[in-house]
């Protein structure tokens, strides 16, 4: 279901547990739990995420999370419907700046667990083909994100 890489930060079992719980719920919710798809997760620092943004997105700035999907939304829907995800394949990659997660948790007044969970579910739905550039898309994506977090009882407070 996932592989985690710690890039220039210390390994942390708590982060792994949070990610496991969130992705398990995401996979169940989107009917991916019986597939052999997996997600590559990289937890890193601001310097590395800035470098990744510059290299792959031509954006020279640090962000909290970056996602790299491997499939179009329609391909995923068809793969689930026709059960064609029966070989191990990567759904995509999510890169998270742990320092930004810490900062944003403080800024928004909620727990580190809530912020990291949100980053993972947000990245997951980008991998699933959702976006937030248009208001309608944003509403749909946010509803899916909140549904996952609510089912896990991960609240903003």
11 in a structural domain: yes
- Rounded percentage of the chain residues whose pLDDT exceeds 70: 99
Residue 91 lies in a domain: yes
Residue 157 lies in a domain: no
pLDDT in tens, 91-132: 999 999 999 999 999 999 999 999 999 999 999 999 999 999
What average pLDDT score do residues 23-34 get? 96
Average pLDDT for residues 128-145, to the nearest whole number? 94
Q: What is the pLDDT of residue 106?
A: 97
Q: What separation in angstroms does the CA of 90 have from each of 39, 40, 53, 61, 141?
A: 6, 7, 20, 26, 21
As a whole number, mean pLDDT of residues 21-46 equals 97
User: Is the pTM value of this prediction over 0.85?
Assistant: yes
Candidates 80, 101, 79, 103; CA nearest to 31 is 80
Q: How many domains does the chain have?
A: 1
User: How far is 62 from 83, CA to CA, in rounded Å?
Assistant: 38
pLDDT higher than threshold 70 for residue 157: no
What kind and span of H or E run contains 103?
Answer: helix 98-108
In the predicted model, what is the mean pLDDT of residues 8-15? 98
Domain coverage including residue 22: 2-151
User: Can you tell me the distance from the alpha carbon of 14 to that of 11, in angstroms, rounded to the nearest whole number?
Assistant: 9
CATH number reported for the structural domain that contains residue 16 in this entry: 3.40.390.30
Query: Within a domain: residue 9?
Result: yes
The pLDDT, as a whole number, for residue 155 is 83
Is 51:99 a contact under the CB 8 Å cutoff? Answer: no
| Whole-number pLDDT of residue 100 | 97
Q: Does residue 156 form part of some domain?
A: no
Residue 8 lies in a domain: yes
Burial (0-12, 13-18, 19+ Cβ within 10 Å), 10: exposed
With residues binned 3-state (H G I as helix, E B as strand, rest as coil), the percentages for the chain, rounded to 5, are 50, 15, 30
* Token digits of residue 124: 């997951």
């Amino acid at each position: 279901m996932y592989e985690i890489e710690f890039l220039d930060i210390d390994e942390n079992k708590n982060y792994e547990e949070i990610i496991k719980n969130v992705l398990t719920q995401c996979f169940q919710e989107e009917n991916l739990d019986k597939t052999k798809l997996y997600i590559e997760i990289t937890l890193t620092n601001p310097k590395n995420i800035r470098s990744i943004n510059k290299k792959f997105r031509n954006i020279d700035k640090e962000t909290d999370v970056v996602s790299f999907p491997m499939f179009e939304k329609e391909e995923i829907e068809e793969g689930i419907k026709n059960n064609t995800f029966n070989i191990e394949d990567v759904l995509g990659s999510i890169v998270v700046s742990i320092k930004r997660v810490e900062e944003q948790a403080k800024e928004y007044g909620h727990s580190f667990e809530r912020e990291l969970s949100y980053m993972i579910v947000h990245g997951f739905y980008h991998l699933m083909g959702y976006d937030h550039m248009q208001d309608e898309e944003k509403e749909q994506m946010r509803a899916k994100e909140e549904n996952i977090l609510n089912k896990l009882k991960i609240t903003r407070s």
